[in-house]
């Protein structure tokens, strides 16, 4: 017997205990152990029931994702499930923690299910670009009907035990030790001579309008294929006998496993976890964190304070004057009211956070007890240095001084204090209490335990933290500046901002770059262009048409006009005819004859610019690994998760083809399209970005 499944006999019931930490994934050894356990129980005289339980924190978290992409090893999970279900013995699952994917599929192949009230079940395969592949799409609809199954399967969401009971996914909900409860349930079922209940033997569920369900799911997935494909698998449960439905499901699962989308999403799953795992921080203890200071309560400061309060940290927020302090408090109150409305906090917690945990002040003296300060004042080096001077004087020794600057030199800020080892960049994204990304910017002299504390804060706040080095824009904004420039060049050459936005949302971005610019405020880019103008290379192409709009006081959504025109009370905007005129005027001035672009070419140029700059960012050590870039773009810039990130996208395209395209674009603009040395090196060596992830 496999040591991953422990066999014990308790009177008429055998317990099969899965022991595969940390989450009992269904590795080959576990699958074999379950097969052997069933054989042995059936041969064990006097046994009437088998109880399956999980050791540790979960029943079973699903198939072992590390095995995907490798040659499938027998026994296969669908066969294990069929074996369990077909047993003449009564089989019972007692579920605690999570039962996900293949874990729920094992439970659905048993005859009775009991779960703890805080247990969660689900079929999250769509989040890996897959669909349930061990009978989930065939058994669940027979058990609970088509509509609820489609919701569970296409959303991939976790369902809490009370709702699972209501839906009929579990039969019983009870608190206690899962094994003790399961044994009692088995005894009860044996005493009542309860029949085996094989879901596969239940009648086919009722028909629905499958094409409508497919189309609606495809639209909702914004280009992601797996949820829509799952609709077709559920359709098979209605239209085919069980064994044929199972074959159809398996075929679709194996097909999806080969797709770039599932490779991208599996890459995202593992690297979302790996990104905060820095070898350099092994054994480095973070400093204690109980209270944080926030300087400036504007858009970012208020969001950062909200995030800290929602994570149960005390906050002292400093503003410039009484009026600004009151505005900051109102902003935080508004954010917390939103959290209350969405059920994230109770009214009592909301009131306590505002009255006890938050202090808004105009005096830096109130920062004497905080453990870490995040500065979020105006993006101006002199203002920042002035603030850091005051922090240096007001904060206790050991207090970490962080800046939320978007672009400014963290080394220069650190050098303006007497404690540069305690200075770090903590770059949040707007809205800071919602967006998952946190760039942790490590300056030349930042102490290792300060870096460790940055990551600990990220964990406390529920962020995906990425280590970045110091440069203009760090990882994300630096790469953004480059791909935005590629989009600007295409506008000058003839693609409209609206075609570009549409092509990129078609690729899977939540928004196109021009809609994003309108949302962020056109004044930011305008100021940056003015700041960079003195150092501009003579060959750099920078469009000026949008500056004309800014000069007229139009800054995007907040003023009602930008690339788009925004009518009050309407969602989204409509193309601004002024923009089309201004572009035409600039093209005439520069003697450019506009040409047509296909959507595919727009996407390719945009992506090649992104990958090229990202390869420079990795090559220079600003990002340690390609996966750091991928997670930055995924969690801070709306990059479609099903591509895994720009570096994964490039690997999937073939780095040689990406480099070849960059070189062909360089024939038109050699200054902008300088190939990244790292990209050239990887192509020459026949390696991928993923090789660098594995090495790190
Ligand atoms: N396979 C392999 N490793 C897994 C895994 C799985 N299914 N689920 C989690 N792990 C690993 C994680 O990578 C992590 O490893 P690390 O410590 O080396 O980084 C470790 O287990 C702990 O995971 P988390 O850090 O995520 O722990 P949490 O407690 O925060 O979350 C969880 C636990 C809710 C189970 C979460 O890990 C999760 O959602 N896992 C994936 C569940 C899933 O997608 N299941 C479906 C798999 S596909 C399938 O079953 C196909 C079938 O239909 C044929
Ligand atoms: P903002 O203009 O909304 O807020 C700045 C606040 O700082 C104002 O409320 C102002 O009163 C206050 N302030 C100015 N000087 C101060 C001082 N000496 N002491 C105390 N308070 C002072 O600006 P925003 O957008 O919140 O940006 C703040 C910082 O965050 C900037 O460095 C910006 O680059 C960065 N950032 C901005 C993002 C965004 O999307 N807005 C995203 C990520 C970073």
Whether residue 696 has pLDDT greater than 70: no
Dump pLDDT digits (tens) for 308-321: 999 999 999 999 99
Are the beta carbons of 450 and 419 closer than 8 angstroms?
no
pLDDT of 510 above 90: no
Q: Please tell me the residue having the least CA distance from ligand 2 atom 28.
A: 376
| Helix, strand or coil, per DSSP, at residue 94 | strand
Residue 291 has pLDDT above 80, yes or no: yes
Contact by Cβ (8 Å): 80, 38: no
Phi, psi of 108 (to 5 degrees): -70, -15
161-197 pLDDT, tens digit each: 999 999 999 999 999 999 999 999 999 999 999 999 9
| CATH superfamily for domain 289-468 | NAD(P)-binding Rossmann-like Domain (3.40.50.720)
176 conformational bin, left if phi > 0, alpha if psi -120 to 50, beta if neither: left
Q: Which residue has the tokens 């001084």?
A: 401
Confidence (pLDDT) at 300: 96
d(CA 428, CA 463): 9
Q: Would you tell me which CATH number, out of the four given (3.90.226.10, 3.40.350.10, 3.80.10.10, 3.40.50.300), belongs to the domain 5-258?
A: 3.90.226.10
- Quote the pLDDT of residue 568: 86
Annotated catalytic residue 439: yes
Q: Rounded to an integer, what distance in angstroms lies between the CA atom of residue 327 and that of residue 360?
A: 10
Mean pLDDT, range 54-68, rounded to an integer: 97
Q: What is the mean pLDDT of residues 532-548?
A: 92
- Cα(694) to ligand 1 centroid in Å equals 19
Q: Minimal CA–CA distance to 514: which of 533, 534, 486?
A: 486
pLDDT tens per residue, range 204-227: 999 999 999 999 999 998 889 999
- Catalytic, 427? Answer yes
Active-site choice (465, 477, 576, 612): 477
Please give the CATH number for the structural domain made up of 476-541+586-695.
1.10.1040.50
CA 23 to ligand 1 center in whole angstroms: 7
Q: Is 406 one of the annotated active-site residues of the chain?
A: yes
Give the model's confidence band at 527: pLDDT under 50 very low, under 70 low, under 90 confident, else very high. confident
Residue 297 CA: nearest ligand 2 atom is 9
Q: Which two tokens stand for residue 316?
A: 């002292």
> How do the domains of the chain map onto residue ranges?
5-258, 289-468, 476-541+586-695
pLDDT computed for residue 145 by the predictor: 97
pLDDT beyond 80 at 115: yes
Closest CA to 370 of 323, 326, 422, 409: 422
Tokens of 293: 């200071």
pTM (2 d.p.): 0.95
Q: What is the pLDDT of residues 142-158, one digit of tens each?
A: 999 999 999 999 999 99
The pairing of beta strand 90-95 with beta strand 49-54? parallel
């Amino acid at each position: 017997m496999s040591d991953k499944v422990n066999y014990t006999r308790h009177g008429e019931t055998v317990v099969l205990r899965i022991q595969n930490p940390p989450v009992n994934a269904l590795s080959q050894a576990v699958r074999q152990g379950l097969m052997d356990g069933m054989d042995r129980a059936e041969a064990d005289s006097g046994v009437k029931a088998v109880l399956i339980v999980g050791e540790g924190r979960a029943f079973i978290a699903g198939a072992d994702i590390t095995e995907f992409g490798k040659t499938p090893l027998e026994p296969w999970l669908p066969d294990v499930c069929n074996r369990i279900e077909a047993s003449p013995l009564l089989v019972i699952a007692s579920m605690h923690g999570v039962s996900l994917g293949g874990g729920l599929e094992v439970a659905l192949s048993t005859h009775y299910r009991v779960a703890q009230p805080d247990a969660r079940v689900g079929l999250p395969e769509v989040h890996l670009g897959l669909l349930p592949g061990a009978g989930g799409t065939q058994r669940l609809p027979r058990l609970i009907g088509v509509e609820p199954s489609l919701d569970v399967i296409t959303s991939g969401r976790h369902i809490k035990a009370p709702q699972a009971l209501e839906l009929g996914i579990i039969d019983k909900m009870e608190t206690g030790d899962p094994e003790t409860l399961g044994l009692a349930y088995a005894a009860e079922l044996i005493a009542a001579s309860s029949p085996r209940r094989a879901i596969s033997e239940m009648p086919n569920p009722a028909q629905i309008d499958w094409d409508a369900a497919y189309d609606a799911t495809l639209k909702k997935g914004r280009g992601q294929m797996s949820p829509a494909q799952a609709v077709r698998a559920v359709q098979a449960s209605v239209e085919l006998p069980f064994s044929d439905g199972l074959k159809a499901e398996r075929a679709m699962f194996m097909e999806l496993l080969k797709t770039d989308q599932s490779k991208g999403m599996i890459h995202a799953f593992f690297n979302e976890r790996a990104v905060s795992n820095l070898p350099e921080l092994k054994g480095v203890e973070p400093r204690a964190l109980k209270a944080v200071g926030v300087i400036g309560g504007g858009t970012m400061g208020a969001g950062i304070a909200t995030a800290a309060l929602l994570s149960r940290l005390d906050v002292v927020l400093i503003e410039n004057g009484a009026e600004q302090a009151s505005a900051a408090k109102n902003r935080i109150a508004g954010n917390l009211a939103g959290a209350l409305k969405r059920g994230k906090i109770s009214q009592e917690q909301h009131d306590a956070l505002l009255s006890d945990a938050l202090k808004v002040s105009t005096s830096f003296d109130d920062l004497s007890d905080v453990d870490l300060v995040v500065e979020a004042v105006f993006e101006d080096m002199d203002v920042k240095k002035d603030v850091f001077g005051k922090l240096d004087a007001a904060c206790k020794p050991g207090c970490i001084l962080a800046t939320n600057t978007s672009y400014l030199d963290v080394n220069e800020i650190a050098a303006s204090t007497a404690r540069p080892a305690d200075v770090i960049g903590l770059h949040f994204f707007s809205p800071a209490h919602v967006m998952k990304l946190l760039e942790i910017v490590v300056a030349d002299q930042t102490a290792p335990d300060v870096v460790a504390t940055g990551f600990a804060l990220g964990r406390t706040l529920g962020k995906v933290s990425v280590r970045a080095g110091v440069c203009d824009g760090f990882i994300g904004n630096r790469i953004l500046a480059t791909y935005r420039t590629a989009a600007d060049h295409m506008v000058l050459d003839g693609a409209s901002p609206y075609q570009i936005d549409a092509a990129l949302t078609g690729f899977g971005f939540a928004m196109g770059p021009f809609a994003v610019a309108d949302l962020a405020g056109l004044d930011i880019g305008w100021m940056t262009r003015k700041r960079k103008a003195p150092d501009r290379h003579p060959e750099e192409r920078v469009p000026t048409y949008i500056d004309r709009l800014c000069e007229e006081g139009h800054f995007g959504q907040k003023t009602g006009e930008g690339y788009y025109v925004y009518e009050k009370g309407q969602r989204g905007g409509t193309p601004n005819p002024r923009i089309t005129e201004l572009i035409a005027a600039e093209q005439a001035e520069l003697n450019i004859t506009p040409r047509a672009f296909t959507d595919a070419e727009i996407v390719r140029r945009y992506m090649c610019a992104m990958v090229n700059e990202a390869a420079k960012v990795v090559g220079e050590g600003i990002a340690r690994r390609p996966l750091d870039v991928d997670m930055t773009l995924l969690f801070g810039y709306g990059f479609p998760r099903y591509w895994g990130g720009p570096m994964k996208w490039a690997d999937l395209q073939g780095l040689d083809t990406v480099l070849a395209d960059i070189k062909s674009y360089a024939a038109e603009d050699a200054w902008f399209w300088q190939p990244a040395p790292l990209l050239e090196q990887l192509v020459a060596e026949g390696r991928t970005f993923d090789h660098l992830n594995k090495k790190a």
